[in-house]
Structure 1
Amino acid sequence: MQEIRTEHLTVGYEKKPLIGDVNLSVRPGEILTLIGPNGSGKSTILKTITKQLKKLDGTVFLGENSMDELKDSQISKRLSMVMTERLRTELMSGREVVASGRYPYTGRFGILSKEDWVKVDEAIALVHAKEVQDQDFMKISDGQRQRLMLARAICQDTKILILDEPTSYLDMGFKMDILTNIRMLARDKKMAVIMSLHELDLAQKVSDTIACVRGDRIDRVGTPEEIFAGTYVQELYGVSDRSFDPVTGQIFLCAGYENAEGFWEHSADSCQNKDFCSDDKILNPVSPQVFVIGGAGSGIPVYNRLWREAIPFAAGILQENDVEYNAAMALASEVVSEKAFFPIGMEKVQAAKQLIDHCKTCICTVKEFGPFNEANRELAEYARGMGKIHNM
Structure 2
Amino acid sequence: MREDYFYTEGLTVGYQGVPLIREIAFQLKKGEILTLIGPNGAGKTTILKSLIRQLKPLAGVIVLEGQKTGEMSGRDFARKLSVVLTERVRPEMMTCKEVVATGRYPYTGKFGVLSKEDWKIVDEAVRLVHIEDLAERDFTKTSDGQKQRVMLARALCQQPDILVLDEPTSFLDIRYKLEFLSIIQEMARNDRLTVILSLHELDLAERISDKVLCVRGDRIDRFGTPEEIFCGDYISELYGMTAGHYDAGTGELELQPVSGAPKVFVIAGGGRGKAVFRRLQRQGMPFATGILWENDLDYPSAKALAVQTVAVRTYSAVDAEHIEKAKELIDSCETVLTVFDRTEWTKLPEGLKEILAYAEEKGKLTE
| TM-score band w.r.t. shorter chain | over 0.9
User: 1:355 is aligned with what amino acid?
Assistant: L
- Which of the residues 257, 269, 287 maps onto 2:261? 287
- 1:366 maps to 340
Alpha-carbon deviation of 1:48?
0.6
Is this contact kept in 2: 1:2–1:159, CA < 8 A? no
Q: Does 1:300 align with 2:302?
A: no
CA distance in 2, matches of 1:32, 1:370: 49
- Which of the residues 307, 332, 349 maps onto 2:323? 349
CA distance in 1, matches of 2:98, 2:329: 66
- 2:290 maps to 316
Alpha-carbon deviation of 1:26?
1.6
Q: Does 1:247 align with 2:249?
A: yes
- 1:269 maps to none
CA distance in 2, matches of 1:247, 1:389: 32
- 1:383 maps to 359
Alpha-carbon deviation of 1:371?
4.1
CA distance in 2, matches of 1:312, 1:45: 44
- Which of the residues 124, 131, 134 maps onto 2:133? 131
Residue correspondence of structure 1 range 89-168 to structure 2 within 5 A: 89-168=91-170
- Which of the residues 64, 86, 89 maps onto 1:87? 89
| Shift in alpha-carbon separation, 1:119–1:108, aligned structure 2, 3 A | same
SS in 1 for 2:315: coil
- 2:302 maps to 328
- 2:183 maps to 181
| Shift in alpha-carbon separation, 1:161–1:2, aligned structure 2, 3 A | farther
Is this contact kept in 1: 2:266–2:290, CA < 8 A? yes
- 1:203 maps to 205
Alpha-carbon deviation of 1:366?
2.1
SS in 2 for 1:380: helix
CA distance in 2, matches of 1:80, 1:2: 19
Alpha-carbon deviation of 1:126?
1.3
User: 2:327 is aligned with what amino acid?
Assistant: K
User: 2:356 is aligned with what amino acid?
Assistant: A
CA distance in 1, matches of 2:85, 2:248: 28
Q: How high is the TM-score relative to the length of structure 2? A: 0.96
- 1:46 maps to 48
User: 1:9 is aligned with what amino acid?
Assistant: L
Deviations 1:24-71 (A, max 9, x none): 222111001111000111110000111111211111112111112111
SS in 2 for 1:329: helix
Is this contact kept in 2: 1:10–1:20, CA < 8 A? yes
- 2:37 maps to 35
Alpha-carbon deviation of 1:164?
0.7
CA distance in 2, matches of 1:386, 1:138: 66
CA distance in 1, matches of 2:299, 2:244: 11
SS in 1 for 2:206: helix
CA distance in 1, matches of 2:210, 2:360: 50
- 1:278 maps to none
Is this contact kept in 2: 1:231–1:241, CA < 8 A? no
CA distance in 2, matches of 1:241, 1:28: 39
Alpha-carbon deviation of 1:124?
1.4
- 1:275 maps to none
Is this contact kept in 1: 2:4–2:27, CA < 8 A? no
Deviations 1:48-101 (A, max 9, x none): 111111211111112111112111111000000111101111011111111110
Is this contact kept in 2: 1:244–1:252, CA < 8 A? yes
SS in 2 for 1:176: helix
CA distance in 2, matches of 1:136, 1:314: 56
| Shift in alpha-carbon separation, 1:388–1:301, aligned structure 2, 3 A | same
Structure 1: stretches of 5+ with no match in the other structure: 261-285
Aligned identity (percent) is: 50
SS in 1 for 2:97: helix
- 2:61 maps to 59
| Shift in alpha-carbon separation, 1:381–1:146, aligned structure 2, 3 A | same
User: 1:377 is aligned with what amino acid?
Assistant: K
Deviations 1:315-341 (A, max 9, x none): 111000111111111111010010011
Is this contact kept in 2: 1:26–1:193, CA < 8 A? no
CA RMSD, aligned part only? 1.5
- Count how many residue pairs are aligned between Structure 1 and Structure 2: 363
Alpha-carbon deviation of 1:123?
1.1
Structure 2: stretches of 5+ with no match in the other structure: none
Is this contact kept in 2: 1:234–1:241, CA < 8 A? no
- 2:24 maps to 22
Is this contact kept in 1: 2:214–2:221, CA < 8 A? yes
